[in-house]
Amino acid sequence: MVAVGDCMSGVRVSDAASAQLAARRPLEAQYGANRIERVVFTRAWYVTGGARDVWEVEGDVTARTGLFGKAVRHFKFQIDPFGNVIGFEG
């Protein structure tokens, strides 16, 4: 499991594509890079807030669970402009 606040990318997140890349890293850490079959990003948007501006990325990950099994899980990450995951759901 990825701890909230761990630096995933070490680069600044400036657009939706880099936010999606930063969101993929904790998924690989949670499910294993070789077990992930597919990641589909459904939404990525920038949210300005009073305390902190974040990117919110949501989508579905398909991971192999066994020899023939697959599991589809929905996820939603909040990523700060430095690529750190500061919140997640799912």
Q: How large a percentage of the chain has pLDDT more than 90?
A: 69
Is 71 contained in some domain?
A: yes
pTM of the model: 0.79
Is 72 contained in some domain?
A: yes
Q: How large a percentage of the chain has pLDDT more than 70?
A: 88
Q: 30: which strand partners?
A: none
Number of domains in the chain: 1
Is 4 contained in some domain?
A: no
Is 21 contained in some domain?
A: yes
Is 1 contained in some domain?
A: no
Is 22 contained in some domain?
A: yes
4 pLDDT band, cuts 50/70/90, is very low
pLDDT at 74: 96
10 pLDDT band, cuts 50/70/90, is low
Is 2 contained in some domain?
A: no
56 pLDDT band, cuts 50/70/90, is very high
Structural domain boundaries enclosing 67:
16-89
